[in-house]
Amino acid sequence: MRNGSIIVQKYGGSSVSTVDKLKQVARLVATRAREGHRMVVVVSAMGDATDELLAKAQAVAGEPDRRELDMLLSVGERISMSLLAMAIREEGLEAVSLTGSQSGIITTASHAQARIMEVRPFRVEDELDAGRVVIVAGYQGVSYKREVTTLGRGGSDTTAVALAAALSAEACEIYSDVEGVFTADPRVVPDATPLAELGYAEMQELAEAGAKVLNAQAVEFAKQKNIAIYARKTGSEGRGTVVRLNAPVAPSGVRGIAHERAVATVEASGVSLAQAREALDAMDGLGATPRQLNLAGGCFSCVLGTEDLHEPRTLEARLEAILGPGVLSTGRGAVSLIGEGITRHAHVMRAALDAAAEVEAEVLGVATSSFRITLLVPSLRVEPLTRALHAAVGLGPVPALPVD
């Protein structure tokens, strides 16, 4: 990389979960800065700090006001940014910490699920020109209404990519506790293998389907701006995974598998277009983003990730008032096979259904797109099905099935 080039790094909560780990990150950043790079470092909250703050809020109010919740949750990143700036100063370098608003992260006004609209990184540029390492609080920004907002789970990834684009950075590096992106979650599938390269669309599908290494919105942003993302393990010498334009396509049709242990489904019949529109408006108003949406012959269905259920009781009541009683179901999970042109490979769908039968996972629904095949199953069968699928489609030690 060019001497004097801007490098944007992001360190996840596990990488800064303790003071010792935070000091390790400071040393890593200092090393890159001494090589001549201008460093911008985005940080998440330390460890489980966000979950702990959320638990406190829910102990005070069952369904906390989302504006006040954003004010509270944004504190976690502010703690880690300040401590990291202090640690880098101890390494003998000048460093300054900035909040999302100070960094020019301008978002929509949607609390808890805001989207970045633009970045005005004037303060960041000024600090870089002054020779300082800039530490930015991830996951947060400020709306046009001058309200503090948060970007949803994994929002620090989006902060990093957005800053990299605005600053014309040479690289955007995302660090976590895993060595890049794997063919499946290695905690569930022990023989999962790392992927050297992925295209934007495949990575976005993996992220939306439950892979936690990168945030889907961040990948979408990177695709729009053609920013390569390097996903690596903190402190590792490994190459990790690069997400970029024109990555090679998997010849077998399957690049990887992602899973979600818990999703909710909305299912109703006899639904008019007006009711469907009203239901979608209700979900949008409560920060819930429907996936695998289907409306045909008066039947309405969609899937909601648990991260969308900010106000579950309110959402359930609103949907029942619009669509009828019992329309929101939980206790389900999803397992998705991801790959460009995956539905052109008929053997993949056969393998998926055979694997479900093998582990006695009742298939409650199937959804397909040009990049994804998703099976909805009972939550307790998600992990057994993930392991079975990984072997059945040739990602594990079992040879791949013949290609059509």
Q: State the DSSP string of 116-167.
A: EEEE--HHHHHHHHTT-EEEEE-SEEEETTS-EEE--TTHHHHHHHHHHHHT
Q: Does the structure show a pLDDT above 80 at 1?
A: no
What is the pLDDT at residue 404?
A: 38
Per 3-state DSSP, the chain is made up of helix, strand and coil in percentages (nearest 5) of 40, 25, 35
pLDDT per residue as tens digits for the range 109-168: 999 889 999 999 999 999 999 999 999 999 999 999 999 999 988 899 999 999 999 999
- State the Cα angle at 365 between 361 and 366, rounded to 5°: 100
Secondary element (H or E) of residue 261: strand 256-268
CATH fit for domain 6-177, picks 3.30.930.10, 3.20.20.70, 2.70.70.10, 3.40.1160.10 = 3.40.1160.10
Residues of each domain in the chain carrying CATH 3.40.1160.10 = 6-177
What is the pLDDT at residue 401?
A: 40
Average pLDDT (373-391) is 96
Secondary element (H or E) of residue 333: strand 328-338
Q: How far is CA 122 from the centre of its chain?
A: 27
Separation CA 270–CA 274 (nearest Å): 12
CATH class of the domain defined by 256-392: alpha beta
Average pLDDT (61-79) is 94
What is the pLDDT at residue 251?
A: 72
Strand-by-strand arrangement of the 365-368 sheet: 291-296, 299-305, 256-268, 328-338, 372-378, 365-368
- State the Cα angle at 307 between 276 and 240, rounded to 5°: 125
**Structure tokens given for 398:** 């079992």
Global pTM?
0.86
Instruction: Provide the percentage of residues in the chain whose pLDDT is more than 70.
Output: 96
Average pLDDT (220-242) is 91
How many C-alpha atoms does 189 have within 13 Å on its Cβ side?
28
Average pLDDT (93-119) is 96
Residues of each domain in the chain carrying CATH 3.30.2130.10 = 256-392
Average pLDDT (325-335) is 93
Which of 177-186, 195-204, 250-259 has the weakest average pLDDT?
Answer: 250-259
Non-local CB neighbours of 90 within 8 Å, separated by 6+ positions? 23, 26
Q: Does the structure show a pLDDT above 70 at 398?
A: no
Non-local CB neighbours of 66 within 8 Å, separated by 6+ positions? 111, 112, 287, 310
What is the pLDDT at residue 396?
A: 59
Cβ contact 236:194 at 8 Å: no
Q: Does the structure show a pLDDT above 90 at 7?
A: yes
Average pLDDT (348-374) is 93
Q: Considering only residues 400 and 375, tell me which one the structure prediction assigns the higher pLDDT.
A: 375
Average pLDDT (187-194) is 94
What is the pLDDT at residue 206?
A: 94
What is the pLDDT at residue 3?
A: 55
Q: pLDDT-based confidence at 308, cuts 50/70/90?
A: low
Cβ contact 175:22 at 8 Å: no
Closest CA to 29 of 101, 100, 83: 83
Instruction: Provide the percentage of residues in the chain whose pLDDT is more than 90.
Output: 77
CA quadruple 196, 202, 203, 206: dihedral sign: negative
Average pLDDT (236-255) is 85
